[in-house]
Amino acid sequence: MTDSFGRVHNYLRISLTERCNLRCTYCMPEAGVRCSPKSQLMQAEEIYRIAKIFVQCGVTKIRLTGGEPLVRKDFRLILERLSTLPVALTLTTNAVLADRFIDSFKACGVQAINISLDTMKPDKFRQIARRDEFEKVHRNMQSLLAHGFEVKLNIVLIKSLNDDEIIDFIQLGKTLPLAVRFIEFMPFNGNRWDLKKVVSHRAIMRVVGGYFGEREIIREADAPNDTAKSYRVAGYSGTFAVISSVTNPFCDSCNRLRITADGKIKSCLFSIVETDLLSALRSGRPIEPIIQRAVQAKRKVRSGMNALRELQSADRHHRGNRSMIQIGG
């Protein structure tokens, strides 16, 4: 699946649900989102059939996301079916329910898990996620590490909300083999994005350099297609990284495609054009040509918003996009 800019797409993110047991302010509007009727969502077997075709087209890695993938009642079944495909299977989760699935993760060959945790302070967790689940998430993160999973911690930094915790998060890596990843806050429908709230890669590195000393910060090698720039503090077990989707997007090496829970291809997070795969599958039409057309239509940078100024002034575009909870991050 090579697009018109020569980018090979071998990484598929599948959103399993639009529902979630948290309500993170940067991810979903305060008023909530209207969830699609169940009949319009991909069923477990449809997810498998669609994923299998993507694998035949060259996908080697699948990430399950959402909404919160673990709230789906048939999560185990979906994981089991997908684990029969020749892919690296991973997931992104808020980890509230992770303890219930450790055996399934192991049985299905899941080795790496991304956890979203934006603060180490319980009261701030309640403020950001609008739910009181800090202890559970924290305990489950420790437990996944103890069970030998590779854990990455995703932190969306927002100015004056949790940017005072940059050093605390990095210090988790002193003893824990954690990959801490700071994500620049991105604009989506209803999340009150403002460039002034974004904590940029440069600002993060200023704080880090000021605290640890520039000489103590070692740049780690990037994996191919990696969206994160990784670093290690000298002597630490863990690493930290910055995902600079706003100030310095990584579109040149983008190898990702997304399918929403209602079976639409989203070739870019910022694309408001979606391609309906599920209806085609249900009506018995071949979906491979539809996938290939969606890949060919992919724009070079952030769905056409090349410069930061364009992203910043595209309020109407962002309102026309879905909320992150409905896209699948």
Q: In what order do the strands lie in the sheet with 228-233?
A: 217-219, 228-233, 239-243, 179-184, 150-157, 112-116, 88-93, 61-65, 11-15, 256-259, 264-266, 275-276
Does 186 interact with ligand SAM (rule: CB under 6 A)? Answer: yes
Pick 227 or 275: Cβ nearer ligand SAM: 227
Name the residue type at position 197: K
Confirm if 298 and 3 have CB atoms less than 8 A apart: yes
Figure out which of the listed residues 9, 33, 44, 68 binds ligand SF4, where binding follows CB under 6 A. 68
**Residues 27-56 interacting with ligand SAM (rule: CB under 6 A):** 27
Whichever of 131 and 147 has its CB closer to ligand SF4, that residue is: 131
Token code pair at residue 225: 């297609």
Query: Of these partners, ligand SAM, ligand SF4, none, which one is at the site of residue 23 (CB under 5 to 8 Å by kind)?
Result: ligand SF4
d(CA 244, CA 222): 14
- Other Cβ atoms less than 10 A from the Cβ of 238: the count is 22
State how far the Cα of 329 lies from the Cα of 322, in Å rounded to an integer: 11
Size of the site for ligand SF4 (CB under 6 A): 13
Rounded to a whole number of angstroms, the minimum distance from the CB of residue 328 to ligand SF4 is: 8
d(CA 299, CA 305): 9
Sign of the Cα pseudo-torsion (310, 313, 316, 321, in order) = positive
Complex with ligand SF4: residue 193 or 231, whichever CB lies closer = 193
**Interface of this chain with ligand SAM, residues 78 to 137, rule: CB under 6 A:** 92-94, 116
Site for ligand SF4 in 73-112 (CB under 6 A): 94
Does the footprint of ligand SAM cover residue 65 (CB under 6 A)? Answer: yes
Q: Which of ligand SAM, ligand SF4, none does residue 51 bind to, with CB < 5 to 8 Å depending on kind?
A: none
For binding to ligand SF4 (CB under 6 A), which residues are involved? 20, 22-24, 27-28, 66-68, 94, 116, 324-325
